[in-house]
Structure 1
Amino acid sequence: MTPAAPLPDNTETRQTLIDACLWMNDRHLNQGTSGNISARIDRGILITPSGVPYEELTPASLVTIPLDEPPSETGPKPSTEWPFHQGMHRARPDMPVVLHAHPPYCSVLAVQRRKIPACHYMIAAFGGNDVPLADYALFGSPELCANMAEIMQDRHGCLMANHGATVLGETVEKARWRLEELETLARTYLFSSIGGAPHILSDDEIAEVMDAFQSYGPRHTGETTD
């Protein structure tokens, strides 16, 4: 995989991370301070602090931690989920943003310990033919970090057993988009199981969608349109 450029460590980036936290709660994709977000920067990883209400966050509130070492024991305390954020940034240098939350429908599937199969073509937005489920481990533990890194090698999102969900993003905006898409998929899968069973798309059908996604979206600046 090709490493992505780190995000600039400036006020704009920091405010964008705070805005993502506020957006999660406003969209009912998270509750309280249970979610967290991080971005890879030149000096390591920029991450939300532990236990601070989102409404009280300022750009200066965000914490910088190393990419390969434990955080400093002095100064502001990073999110308790920093180990898996750190692990994700090491395992997926192509995705500079990691966003974690407890969306309601994702959390229902997570406590049932069910992954999301290819019940809808938008599964392809997460890099494969399903949204996998990471095995349970205590939040903030090395075991959870290892579980996440293992299943996210070729995926852009996952559910976390008895916990919640995590998505990766090329940008903060793309991570926000994936989180909302993941919650929609979880709701669709749960509701489609009522009174029947969803039809699951084949691996070939999902591969076709993934190929089509390569040309999805607006043209780059400078290209002509028909």
Structure 2
Amino acid sequence: MKKAELALRQELIACCQEMNTNGLNQGTSGNISARFEDRMLISPSATPYDQMEPEMIASVDLNDASGAWEGPLKPSTEWRFHHALLRERKDAEAVVHAHPTYCTTLAMARKEIPSCHYMIAAFGSTNVRCAGYATFGTEELSKLAIEAIEDRTACLLANHGMIAVGESLAKAMWRAVELETIARQYYLSLQIGGPVLLSEADIADTMNSFSGYGLQDAKGKKKS
């Protein structure tokens, strides 16, 4: 195994563990994937994160839609939308899927998240859509998710959870946390009459400002 692949597998496991530590997810219901060359590395199905080892991460050919994998454990049951996103979205290097409380609450009500806060711009437009419902792990759910996240970097899944993509694992995790934060704020604002929404121009201004904004590493260098 190449050193770069091993490092990515280790980072993927760390992100899975972080999801449960920061409350983004519970148990093994979430899953994370990342692109490595022409393959998708994805967390295995029903495997506790604290027991996960690098060699347990499933590897799937991004050019093979059958889902055939390499590794001792089968990939997450949600491999289909992970695979489709990494295959079709050149801006997506990693995908985070989880069932955070407030995102899932809104998804259960089948509510999108509107322009209630300027940080909605972090997801590419004036709202985060909610995809229609389909049984988990199915091709139908994958198609609905791909449609909902088109021209966006996140979406909700009806009666299910959320998806966020990023230019790196760190950026995908950052967006997932930001999405749950806005979902919580939006939910709470609904309890006092609902938010005053920002205009398309307001969000456009924010998106322009984001052009010089990004995650930074410990040395202060911008990360994609």
State the TM-score, normalizing by the size of structure 1. Answer: 0.90
The whole-number CA distance in structure 1 between the counterparts of 2:106 and 2:215 is 34
What is the identity, as a one-letter code, of the residue corresponding to 2:124?
G
The whole-number CA distance in structure 1 between the counterparts of 2:42 and 2:113 is 28
Find the counterpart in structure 2 of residue 59 from structure 1. 54
Q: Secondary structure at the match of 1:21?
A: helix
Find the counterpart in structure 1 of residue 118 from structure 2. 121
Alignment CA distance shift 1:90-1:133 (3 Å): same
Alignment CA distance shift 1:73-1:94 (3 Å): closer
User: How many residues in Structure 1 have an aligned counterpart in Structure 2?
Assistant: 216
Conserved? CA contact 1:103–1:164, under 8 Å: yes
Find the counterpart in structure 1 of residue 45 from structure 2. 50
Find the counterpart in structure 1 of residue 34 from structure 2. 39
Conserved? CA contact 1:37–1:98, under 8 Å: yes
The whole-number CA distance in structure 2 between the counterparts of 1:191 and 1:73 is 42
Find the counterpart in structure 2 of residue 130 from structure 1. 127
Question: Does structure 1 residue 165 correspond to structure 2 residue 130?
Answer: no
Find the counterpart in structure 2 of residue 90 from structure 1. 87
State the TM-score, normalizing by the size of structure 2. Answer: 0.91
Match of 1:193 among 186, 190, 208: 190
Conserved? CA contact 1:81–1:140, under 8 Å: yes
Q: Unpaired segments of 5 or more residues in structure 1?
A: 1-7
What is the identity, as a one-letter code, of the residue corresponding to 1:66?
D
The whole-number CA distance in structure 1 between the counterparts of 2:195 and 2:152 is 22
Alignment CA distance shift 1:173-1:205 (3 Å): same
Match of 1:143 among 140, 145, 159: 140
What is the identity, as a one-letter code, of the residue corresponding to 2:138?
S
The whole-number CA distance in structure 1 between the counterparts of 2:155 and 2:9 is 25
Q: 1:195, CA displacement in angstroms?
A: 2.4
When structure 1 is superposed on structure 2, of 69-78 and 198-207 the one drifting more is: 69-78
What is the identity, as a one-letter code, of the residue corresponding to 2:134?
A
Q: 1:159, CA displacement in angstroms?
A: 0.6
The whole-number CA distance in structure 1 between the counterparts of 2:111 and 2:200 is 19
Find the counterpart in structure 2 of residue 69 from structure 1. 65
Q: Deviations over 1:175-223 (max 9, x none)?
A: 111111000100000101112120000111101110110012489x9x9
Q: Unpaired segments of 5 or more residues in structure 2?
A: none
The whole-number CA distance in structure 2 between the counterparts of 1:44 and 1:213 is 30
Report the aligned-residue RMSD: 2.1
Q: Deviations over 1:35-70 (max 9, x none)?
A: 000011124110010101001001111000121322
Give aligned-pair identity as a percent.
Answer: 47
Find the counterpart in structure 1 of residue 171 from structure 2. 174
